Structure 1
Amino acid sequence: MPSGQMRLLIFTLTILTLVDVYGQKKSVHETPIPKNIEQCFKTLDKTMPDKEIELIKTLPEDSIYDHWEFKNGTDFFHAWKLYDGSRLTKYFNKLGLYGTHPIYHTILISYHRQLNNQEVRLAEQIEKWKAIQKADYDAYIVKTQKDSLNGLYIHKDINECVTELDKVYEQKSKDNFVGQEESKAVAMAYRFGPGLWMRNNWGLWGGSRLQKYFIDNGIKDPEEMSWIILTCYHRHKNGRPMEFDKLTSKKETTKK
């Protein structure tokens, strides 16, 4: 190939490479986590795909969070570690806003307003979230003080749980559960079946005096609560000590 053509080819490839490099946006994972809302805007301008920016700009602000592109957390949700106490999370906490998804929702709405040259009104947004969260907390406290929810009696301690399981377990299922080795029996029952039933009906997810009882004993995970109940039930039916205090204080559970 003549030298002139070679130089032209090299020049063309160089231009194409530069266009490719500078035409693409930087990944949000490669940028520092913002320390305030203004830095959020600047980083999103540089890293968010144009299609997503256009969606945030044009969608009604109260529907952005529920849109399929954003509902499960777009790239910045993970890159900024909103769920893991990052400096951005702490920034919002200092302003009085707590919770991963309220923070994420607030960033989306704030960016929408900024893109549309509207006032962000961050303090106003946070006050609305604080009111919602207070109402949710007050409702939770009411649930923890009731002895029944949705027409079902809510047990106050592990002894009542064991007694009730003896009533609701069908005899065949009960015999099968009690007859198996403890870890195998509980592992098969705590995620689905009776374990799921307990979490849904005894308020282990949404709040109840039984959930509070477990939280007061150091257990916060609803699945772990049902694991402990079933472990205690299996031991009780096999004539062994339940050792509830040991299960909760030493976190003896080994969920699989």
Structure 2
Amino acid sequence: MRKLITIFILVLILGQLSYGQKRKTPKDIKEAITRLQTDCSDSLKNIIVETKDSYLFQLCYPWKGDYRIIYDWTSSKNKRSVLRKYLINRGISNNKHQQSIILIAFKKSLIGVNVNEIEIIEPFKKIENNWANEDLVRYTTDTIRGVYIPKDLEDCFRRINEFWADSTKTEIKSWTEDEFTGRTHIGFGRWMRNNWQLWGGSRLSKYFNEKGVSHPDDMTGIILDSYHRHLNGKEIALEKQIEYYQIYWKVNSAPSKDIYPKGSRKLEFDMVILYTLNENNMPGCVHIQSNSKSNKVWIYDFHFGWKQLTKDELYKLKSTAYEIREKALIKIFNKE
């Protein structure tokens, strides 16, 4: 019996060692090439050979391709990646560049060309050096990563007008504001957030920050809503839009302990009911206590305050249609 247990343990250890060796990241580009020779299928190797160097990264995850191993080697999530550190030490910290360099080197090995690491790395290193210089002035410069950055809302309109043909703008005008924002927030909106550096910081994000708007999604929403109004000759109402997003974050923030009802200390909130104020279309949000051990549950609303409900009353509130939730809350809080 002991012999069987010993054999089982040895098999388990050897299996773990084998798995660890298989998953260990290469230490440098040369070792990465050796690993890819084994890991890549013949069909993928042919695709790599036929693909232009500038498009090779698109074969990999998370860009446009499904091939994942190089991403696993270079991802910032892989804290133990020796290969990633190897490339960073040579001035390459951008993941897309790291994957490109590895694939360009691998492609050269496939076609029998000498792999000169310095020659492959140098163009990407120059790009990242330029980026580093841009980052020093990113809040004032008009161009980052080769993309013009609008300076304000009116400048955004001018740039968007240049992007879209008149026929597209005519079609957009026929949509409602909500339709336009809904259709563009993910696609074109993502392009704006990434290329106008609303996440990383730019003169446009600074413009919004100074007006009290800090989240890139909110900036995008304001740009899109305003552009649709601009196209249709409607009032932009920028201050009102800004107020909406400021209220949004206030109402959606769970209540802090310093404003808990007297005598209540350990309240937890992880459920909400959303609604809209009828008078001004501002957002509303009811935060619901989730750790009640009795038939009574606390609710908190930025606009109305605190109220303790029975679970039956809470169920009735949760069942109320979105359009009449404010009316139900007015009744609950005796604000009529």
Provide the rounded CA distance (Å) in 1 between the counterparts of 2:189 and 2:53.
Answer: 34
- Please report how far the alpha carbon of residue 120 of structure 1 lies from its aligned counterpart in structure 2 after TM superposition: 1.7
Q: TM-score, normalised by structure 1?
A: 0.50
- Please report how far the alpha carbon of residue 200 of structure 1 lies from its aligned counterpart in structure 2 after TM superposition: 4.2
Provide the rounded CA distance (Å) in 1 between the counterparts of 2:87 and 2:213.
Answer: 27
The CA RMSD measured in Å over matched residues stands at: 5.4
CA contact (8 A) 2:58 2:64 kept: no
| Aligned pair partner of 1:37 in 23, 29, 39 | 29
Matching of residue 210 in structure 1 with residue 204 in structure 2: yes
Matching of residue 127 in structure 1 with residue 122 in structure 2: yes
CA contact (8 A) 1:154 1:210 kept: yes
Provide the rounded CA distance (Å) in 1 between the counterparts of 2:25 and 2:112.
Answer: 24
CA contact (8 A) 2:59 2:67 kept: no
Instruction: Report 1:92-107 matches (<5 A).
Output: 92-107=87-102
CA contact (8 A) 1:144 1:212 kept: yes
- Please report how far the alpha carbon of residue 219 of structure 1 lies from its aligned counterpart in structure 2 after TM superposition: 5.7
Provide the rounded CA distance (Å) in 2 between the counterparts of 1:209 and 1:96.
Answer: 27
Provide the rounded CA distance (Å) in 1 between the counterparts of 2:42 and 2:238.
Answer: 59
Provide the rounded CA distance (Å) in 1 between the counterparts of 2:190 and 2:52.
Answer: 38
Provide the rounded CA distance (Å) in 2 between the counterparts of 1:63 and 1:242.
Answer: 40
- Please report how far the alpha carbon of residue 208 of structure 1 lies from its aligned counterpart in structure 2 after TM superposition: 3.9
| Aligned pair partner of 1:110 in 73, 90, 105 | 105
**2:118 match: secondary structure:** helix
Aligned AA (2:97)? P
CA contact (8 A) 1:64 1:108 kept: no
Task: Tell me the equivalent position of 2:279.
Answer: none
Q: What do residues 211-247 of structure 1 show as CA deviations (whole Å, max 9, x unaligned)? A: 3566899968x4354258789x989428968649x77
Gaps of 5+ in 1: 1-29, 165-172, 178-184, 251-256
RCO higher in 1 or 2 (8 Å CA, sep ≥ 6)? 1
Provide the rounded CA distance (Å) in 2 between the counterparts of 1:76 and 1:38.
Answer: 19
Instruction: Report 1:15-54 matches (<5 A).
Output: 31-54=23-46
> Are residues 89 and 69 of structure 1, via their aligned partners in 2, closer, same or farther at CA, if it must alter by over 3 Å?
closer
- Please report how far the alpha carbon of residue 92 of structure 1 lies from its aligned counterpart in structure 2 after TM superposition: 1.4
Provide the rounded CA distance (Å) in 1 between the counterparts of 2:59 and 2:106.
Answer: 18
Provide the rounded CA distance (Å) in 2 between the counterparts of 1:148 and 1:111.
Answer: 33
Aligned AA (1:211)? S
- Please report how far the alpha carbon of residue 122 of structure 1 lies from its aligned counterpart in structure 2 after TM superposition: 1.3
Matching of residue 65 in structure 1 with residue 56 in structure 2: yes
Aligned AA (1:41)? I
- Please report how far the alpha carbon of residue 101 of structure 1 lies from its aligned counterpart in structure 2 after TM superposition: 1.2
CA contact (8 A) 2:213 2:242 kept: no
- How many residues align structurally? 194
Provide the rounded CA distance (Å) in 1 between the counterparts of 2:121 and 2:209.
Answer: 28
Aligned AA (2:129)? K
Task: Point out the structure with the larger strand share.
Answer: 2
> Are residues 146 and 80 of structure 1, via their aligned partners in 2, closer, same or farther at CA, if it must alter by over 3 Å?
closer
Matching of residue 145 in structure 1 with residue 140 in structure 2: yes
**1:118 match: secondary structure:** coil
Task: Tell me the equivalent position of 2:84.
Answer: 89
> Are residues 199 and 120 of structure 1, via their aligned partners in 2, closer, same or farther at CA, if it must alter by over 3 Å?
closer
- Please report how far the alpha carbon of residue 123 of structure 1 lies from its aligned counterpart in structure 2 after TM superposition: 2.4
Task: Tell me the equivalent position of 1:25.
Answer: none
- Please report how far the alpha carbon of residue 107 of structure 1 lies from its aligned counterpart in structure 2 after TM superposition: 0.6
CA contact (8 A) 2:213 2:219 kept: no
- Please report how far the alpha carbon of residue 65 of structure 1 lies from its aligned counterpart in structure 2 after TM superposition: 1.4
Provide the rounded CA distance (Å) in 1 between the counterparts of 2:209 and 2:94.
Answer: 19
Q: What do residues 176-200 of structure 1 show as CA deviations (whole Å, max 9, x unaligned)? A: 87xxxxxxx7x9837727x957974
- Please report how far the alpha carbon of residue 33 of structure 1 lies from its aligned counterpart in structure 2 after TM superposition: 2.8
CA contact (8 A) 2:60 2:66 kept: yes
Provide the rounded CA distance (Å) in 1 between the counterparts of 2:93 and 2:240.
Answer: 43
| Aligned pair partner of 2:240 in 234, 237, 241 | 237
> Are residues 197 and 40 of structure 1, via their aligned partners in 2, closer, same or farther at CA, if it must alter by over 3 Å?
closer
